[in-house]
Structure formats: structure tokens, C-alpha cells
């Protein structure tokens, strides 16, 4: 499968002038490194996710690939064309879905807005009218095409942004947070449209920039995680999850378990973290983070049963993309602890944490 988007050590620096003297002395300006030597290959027909915290450089990277800003270094190709040396060849091949409302004319209708942007794409006369009608039908806005943009709902405005990005019949579609501010029903409809219509029916390559990690996990063939301008991970979601030392979260509801057994549970080699809460008399809710489910879970069950405990519920969960994201971007462990409340005994609803046999009461 051919690569339709390729970058080679792509870099972008923005000068930062803190005062008037810096404007007069450009050689003394400080610079912000927004994108730092990014190398990527995105395949034809792929739905590729671009993730990262605010300020990671995602939007700057997309703008460089669309030719909206020039890189400070490196090279980028779209369908084999250099985005800097051959902008006229790149422009018809790409579509940008940017859902900022200020980029539309509020007093014009949806049809008039699209005809204006069609003219910017080089479409004229009947060709522009036909293409406008086609994309309106594609996103389901034909019946509302002559309403003013200012009277559109948020979901309709997002759909119109998608329609604008498809005017040039692009091979590559860049989508910058297309489901932002949408209710769950409309967001799901848009996700289905991206997967079924854009990718499967039209054969487009879609680069999806999103902060909704569950959305990326549901939709994307591969994802790249950016942090501080660099790609810190790239690959299928399942592969990225393998980078977390902890593999599974296990929830157990246990009765008649002596408290001293908790020390032994926390000392099992594949148990990275143990948390428990006390509830009903004689009952405990355990949450264990395991580095190896196959090695740890049988040992956990044997120990509980041998000490007279009754397991009433067991649930095993794989860690989510969100937890992998936090591990790669936000912290060393990538694990979010339960709230810890004060107390000195095993009282009702207290939370206790045990790591490798060391017990710490809630503070």
C-alpha cells in the first residue's frame, strides 16, 4: 500500500518577540519549537489519528501539511508532491475540515457559503453549483441549504464544515476535532460518516486530530501521539497499549477475607498495585493492577480461597487508550488512583492502597 502523506524531520519554529527591542533586533529573538523533526508515513485509505495534549504541535503539523504555513526545516509530501515546492499540485488533493465558526459568513446561506469556497477551489459556474449540491446531499443538508449559517445548530455547522472540506474531491482529508461540542448522538453519526462514507465508500485517507481518545480508539487504524512537538508513539492502538507496564485491571468483590491476606496479595510478583475499599460487614472490593494476568490471576484466586475468602464477583478490564496516553504524555505510571480518604481502620468506604506489599492508609 502506497504512502499518501510522508514527512521527513519536519520542523517548525515560531519567533517570539517579548518586547519592542526584540522586534528591532530579530537576531536576538527567542524561538518556540512547535514541531520537532517529525517523521511520519500515512498509507492510502487509512484513517489515521493524531493525538496529544494542548500545545503538542498537532494543529501546526496539519497546517504545514496543508500548505497554510511553511516549515522551518524538513520535508513533507502529499501524494508524492512537495507541499512547499509544488503547492499548486497539492492543493486539489487535500481537504481541511476546520470547525471554527468564524471561517463562515454568518449572514449567507449554507449554499452561498459553499459556492464562495468552491470559487476559491477554482470551481466556476455550473460546475460549482453541481459540486455544492453534491456535498450538501452527502452530509444531509440539502433541505436546509438556503438557511442562513447564523440559524444553524452546532451539529449542522459541523456538517457544513465537512461539506466545505470535500468540495475539491480530495484524496486526503484533514479533520481537526470534528466532533467537538457535539452531543453524543450527532457525534456518533459523524463518526459513522467518517468511517463508512469518507473512508470506505469514497476511499479517502483521513487524518483525524482529536482529544477524544475513545473516538480515536473506535475509529482509527493507527494513531500517533505527539508531545512537545515530537511523536512519542505511533502504531495501532493495541500496539500502543502494550507500552504500558500494567496490562489489566481486575475488580474483585470478596467476603470473609482476613485483612492480613491483603499483604500477601500485594506481594504477588505480577501485582503492580492493589487498592481496596470496605463496605458491607465482611466485604471488600479489590482493584488490582496486573502486569501479567495469566501469571497473577490464578495465584490471586488460590490465595483468597485458601484463606477462607469467597469471591462473589470478578471483572477483568484491559487498560484504555486514555491510560496509555497518560503514561506516554502525562506521567511515569500512567495510572489514575482512586480518591483516598482519611481514616485509621478498615472503616466503611475507606480506600487503601498497597504497592508491592507496602501498605499506606489514606491520608
Domain identity same for 44 and 156: yes
Domain identity same for 233 and 312: no
Tell which of 222, 241, 260 closes a domain: 241
Residue 311 burial (CB count, 10 A): 15
**Closest to 68 measured CA to CA, from 27, 39, 100, 22:** 100
Domain identity same for 25 and 62: yes
Residue found under cell 496543508:
66
Using one digit for the tens of pLDDT, what is the confidence trace for 115-128? 999 999 889 999 99
Higher model confidence: residue 223 or residue 238? 223
Domain identity same for 19 and 102: yes
Which pLDDT belongs to residue 45? 92
pLDDT mean across residues, the chain: 84
User: Cα–Cα distances in Å, from 356 out to 86, 133, 141, 275?
Assistant: 58, 64, 58, 11
Residue 281 burial (CB count, 10 A): 7
Residue found under cell 501524494:
79
Domain identity same for 32 and 169: yes
Domain identity same for 263 and 202: no
High-pLDDT (> 70) share of the chain, %: 86
Domain identity same for 40 and 102: yes
Domain identity same for 48 and 194: yes
Domain identity same for 206 and 353: no
Tell which of 241, 266, 295 closes a domain: 241
Q: Which domain holds residue 227?
A: 3-241
Tell which of 177, 207, 241 closes a domain: 241
Domain identity same for 169 and 23: yes
CATH number at residue 201: 3.40.50.300
- The domain total for the chain is 2
Residue 274 has pLDDT above 90, yes or no: no
User: Lowest mean pLDDT: which of 15-24, 71-80, 266-275, 291-300?
Assistant: 15-24
Residue 302 burial (CB count, 10 A): 10
Residue 16 burial (CB count, 10 A): 10
Model confidence, pTM: 0.77
Using one digit for the tens of pLDDT, what is the confidence trace for 67-113? 999 999 999 999 999 999 999 999 999 999 987 767 899 999 999 99
Domain identity same for 7 and 47: yes
Residue found under cell 444531509:
140
Domain identity same for 75 and 115: yes
Amino acid at each position: 500500500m502506497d504512502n499518501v502523506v510522508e514527512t521527513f524531520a519536519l520542523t517548525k519554529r515560531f519567533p517570539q518577540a517579548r518586547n519592542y527591542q526584540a522586534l528591532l533586533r530579530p537576531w536576538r529573538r527567542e524561538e518556540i519549537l512547535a514541531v520537532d523533526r517529525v517523521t511520519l508515513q500515512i498509507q492510502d485509505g487509512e484513517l489515521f489519528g493524531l493525538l496529544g495534549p494542548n500545545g503538542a504541535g498537532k494543529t501546526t503539523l496539519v497546517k504545514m501539511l496543508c500548505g497554510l504555513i511553511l516549515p522551518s526545516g524538513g520535508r513533507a509530501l502529499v501524494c508524492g508532491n512537495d507541499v512547499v515546492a509544488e503547492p499548486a499540485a497539492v492543493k486539489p488533493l487535500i481537504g481541511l475540515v476546520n470547525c471554527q465558526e468564524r471561517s463562515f459568513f454568518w449572514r449567507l446561506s449554507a449554499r452561498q457559503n459553499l459556492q464562495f469556497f468552491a470559487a476559491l477551489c477554482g470551481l466556476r459556474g455550473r460546475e460549482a453549483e453541481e459540486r455544492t449540491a453534491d456535498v450538501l446531499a452527502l452530509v444531509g443538508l440539502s433541505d436546509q441549504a438556503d438557511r442562513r449559517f447564523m440559524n444553524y445548530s452546532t451539529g449542522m455547522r459541523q456538517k457544513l464544515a465537512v461539506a466545505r472540506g470535500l468540495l475539491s474531491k480530495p484524496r486526503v482529508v484533514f479533520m481537526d476535532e470534528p466532533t467537538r461540542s457535539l452531543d453524543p448522538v450527532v457525534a456518533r453519526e459523524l463518526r459513522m460518516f467518517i468511517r463508512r462514507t469518507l473512508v470506505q465508500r469514497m476511499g479517502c485517507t483521513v487524518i483525524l486530530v482529536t482529544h477524544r481518545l475513545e473516538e480515536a480508539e473506535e475509529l482509527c487504524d493507527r494513531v500517533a501521539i505527539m508531545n512537545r512537538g515530537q511523536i512519542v508513539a505511533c502504531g495501532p492502538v493495541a500496539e500502543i497499549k502494550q507500552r504500558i507496564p500494567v496490562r489489566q485491571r481486575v475488580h474483585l468483590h470478596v467476603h470473609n477475607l482476613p485483612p492480613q491476606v491483603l499483604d500477601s496479595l500485594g506481594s504477588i510478583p505480577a501485582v503492580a498495585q492493589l487498592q481496596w475499599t470496605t463496605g458491607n460487614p465482611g466485604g471488600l472490593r479489590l482493584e488490582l493492577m496486573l502486569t501479567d494476568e495469566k501469571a497473577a490471576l490464578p495465584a490471586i484466586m488460590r490465595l483468597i480461597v485458601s484463606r477462607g475468602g469467597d469471591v462473589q464477583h470478578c471483572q477483568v478490564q484491559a487498560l484504555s487508550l486514555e491510560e496509555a496516553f497518560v503514561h506516554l504524555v502525562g506521567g511515569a505510571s500512567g495510572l489514575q488512583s482512586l480518591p483516598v480518604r482519611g481514616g485509621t481502620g478498615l472503616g466503611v468506604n475507606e480506600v487503601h492502597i498497597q504497592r508491592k506489599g507496602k501498605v499506606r492508609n489514606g491520608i
